[in-house]
Amino acid sequence: MKQNKKHNVVAVILARGGSKGLPRKNILPLLGKPLIQYTIDPLKQVKEIDRIIVSTDDKEIAEVSRNLGAEIPFLRPKEFSQDFTTTEESLKHAINWLKENEGYHTDILVFLQITDLFKDPQLIRNAVLMLLEDDGLDSVFVASPTHKHYWIKDAAGYRRLTENAYGPRQLRPPVYREDTGLGCATRAHIVTGQGKRLGEKVKIIENPDFVIDIHSEFDLWLTDKLLKERPEFKKYLI
């Protein structure tokens, strides 16, 4: 069912200053641009997004983000900037801050992660459009299909997650790896009311392309080397 009334669509980028694995990673240079730019720029190409907000506790990150065209309506409080603060707690803080301080109601929250490359604006837009066009959906997100075998360990030991494990690859149903860092749109009340990033009624946008997740100095070096030595991969960067 298509929704007719205007919905406020807000993108929130979480960019804490205190990264342990790769200090200052959110604004470290990649091909001469701060890493956060590769998240802000794709969002700017999605016309359905009304506001792009960076939630950070760091003044330098705030300044860089503002210069790139994002809003910095607040500096994130320390209690939402700790090592074990969850993503959902920080997103909830941003949504509530807008409501309490600006009287601004967020209907749809778009969430990306700075460390996930490479982001496609069309995938992000499709996620938003699916929510705008179907009020029965809670969340839409990007995921990568794989035919690899996955196992988990519980109290009973190891057990397989994949089905039809010994059949031909072509006949095995894929397993989907959640890549919300590349694109995720969700009803804001799922975050504020349930404390979850994703609701129960979801749709997945399949992304068969590769993903690089930067969390260490080696990850950044490898990405830089790949892009410099294989320039064809630059097409994935916005």
Q: Which residue has the tokens 């519980």?
A: 154
Q: What would the pLDDT profile of 143-201 be if each residue is shown by its tens digit? A: 998 888 888 999 999 988 877 666 666 667 788 889 999 999 999 999 999 999 999 99
pLDDT of 20 strictly over 80: no
Query: Is the distance from CB of 172 to CB of 164 less than 8 angstroms?
Result: yes
- In angstroms, the CA 185 to CA 68 distance is 22
Query: Is the distance from CB of 109 to CB of 10 less than 8 angstroms?
Result: yes
pLDDT of 3 strictly over 60: no
pLDDT recorded at residue 99: 97
Question: Taking residues 43-55, what's their average pLDDT?
Answer: 97
pLDDT recorded at residue 5: 60
Smallest CA-to-CA distance from 38 within 92, 103, 109, 118 is with 118
Band (pLDDT 50/70/90 cuts) for residue 4 is very low
pLDDT recorded at residue 2: 45
Domains in the chain, ordered, with CATH? 9-143+178-236 (3.90.550.10)
pTM of the model: 0.89
- In angstroms, the CA 59 to CA 160 distance is 46
- The CA-atom distances, in angstroms, between 24 and each of 19, 28, 120, 124, 231 are 6, 6, 24, 26, 26
Q: What would the pLDDT profile of 77-102 be if each residue is shown by its tens digit? A: 988 888 888 999 999 999 999 999 99
pLDDT of 120 strictly over 80: yes
pLDDT recorded at residue 21: 74
Q: What percent of the chain has pLDDT over 90?
A: 68
Q: What would the pLDDT profile of 201-230 be if each residue is shown by its tens digit? A: 999 999 877 778 898 999 999 999 988 888
Band (pLDDT 50/70/90 cuts) for residue 238 is low
